[in-house]
Amino acid sequence: MIRNAWYVAGFSAEFAPDSITGQVITGRPVVLWRTRQGRAVALDARCAHKRFPLWEGRLLAGDVLECAYHGFAYDPSGKCVAIPALHETGQHIPRTARQRAFPVAEQDGVVWLWPGDAEPASHPPRTVEIGSDGWDTINTEPMEVAANARLLIENLFDLTHFYPLHAGNIGSLADARVPVEIERGRRDGLPYLKTVRRRHSFTLPPMTRDRFGLEVADQLQEHTMVGPGLFHVVVTVAPPGRLGTGDEQGFVLYQSITPRDESSHVWRRSTSCRSGTTWAASPGKSLVEAIVAGAPTVIEQDRWAIEQQQKMFGYPDDDYREVHIKTDGAVVMARHLLDEMEAAEGTAGPAQVRSQRSRQSSDAR
């Protein structure tokens, strides 16, 4: 599990003033709240006194969080500023009564948390559309997924599960035949991996036709993993030959993947369309509503699939090996990239989601 990375703790609206939220991020229990000035802060959720979860506590005047057990109270920096049991004796608050504070950054409508032991090496990735008036955005509720976070990353890079997993909605064999360009490199000091699929003058399926009001179109689809916690998807559609012009339509989708532990994570999705764009089949509705309306079935199918995979991790591998086909390229590369990030901090997740020796033609069958 990679800890030295920015992870989404929530969309800004998930952190109401005066409310406390508890989360587990990369195995670390964290309590988050917003100060009166509106700043989001995060502390280790295990009270320094007796480990009681601070997310069961309450906020007092002066942005102080009081533990519900013995009342140790902490300021946003994690310093203990009150211990009720000491009031009468006049003793000092021990200097060691201090909670670890985690770096938090709120940017573009997203609250990010850095759970790692190293200092943040960079700012969190930008998600400009989420926080911008120029875009209509719909955010999902956080979804708990009972699977290792890497299984979702693999699913998002997996180009061939549209059929059969998503057959009948977004899935067709023809989709799976579009050439895929895979690109990897570094940007802003962070490694990225990206797939690009271009389609020229293709006949849109009925659902997409209703959204964009086009029968035949060019389409560009870009999926980028921006660090272990964020996937950025851009889909652009235009009449043939009109990509890159004012005739473009489309959407931007951010998917955040926040590991809780090695067998579960929280998945969030945020979809944006340029504000004012409407649904071709029903101009009273915004385009982003139409796009989000089609998503739940697909989301549930993906969640179901990766939770099923996770369940199979419970059985010993013995002589089991995966078969890697040509179209697993992006998945194989993503594993390697994430392995390197884990190795850099001296950790390693379950063998089933790391690079592994695949079944090979030289193996006895």
CB 267 within 8 A of CB 152: yes
Instruction: Verify binding: residue 179, other proteins, rule CB under 8 A.
Output: yes
Site for other proteins in 201-240 (CB under 8 A): 205
Binding at 79: pick from Fe ion, other proteins, none (beta carbon under 5-8 Å per type) = none
User: Quick one: which of 69, 163, 202, 313 contacts other proteins (CB under 8 A)?
Assistant: 163
Q: Which two tokens stand for residue 90?
A: 């006049």
Is 136 a binding residue for Fe ion by CB under 5 A? The answer is no
Question: Does residue 344 interact with other proteins by CB under 8 A?
Answer: no
CA distance 139 to 135: 12
C-beta of residue 150 within 8 angstroms of C-beta of residue 335: yes
Percent of the chain as helix, strand, coil, to the nearest 5: 20, 35, 40
Question: Which residue lies nearer to Fe ion by CB, 114 or 157?
Answer: 157
Q: Is 200 in the site for other proteins (CB under 8 A)?
A: no
Rounded CA-CA distance 189/302 in Å is: 31
Place of tokens 């002589």: 319
**Parallel, antiparallel or unpaired: strands 80-82 and 101-102:** unpaired
Tokens of 47: 């009270």
302 binds, among other proteins, Fe ion, none (CB under 5 to 8 A by kind): Fe ion
Q: Interface residues for Fe ion in 301-330 (CB under 5 A)?
A: 302
Instruction: Indicate which single residue of 134, 200, 336, 343 sits in contact with other proteins (rule: CB under 8 A).
Output: 336
Q: Which residues pair with 24 in a beta bridge?
A: 29
Q: Which is nearer to other proteins, 37 or 362 (CB)?
A: 362
Other CB atoms within 10 Å distance of the CB of residue 312: 9
Does residue 354 bind other proteins (CB under 8 A)?
no
Counting contacts by CB under 8 A, is residue 361 touching other proteins?
yes
Shortest distance, CB of residue 301 to other proteins, whole angstroms? 13
Q: How far is the CB of 17 from other proteins (least distance, A)?
A: 44
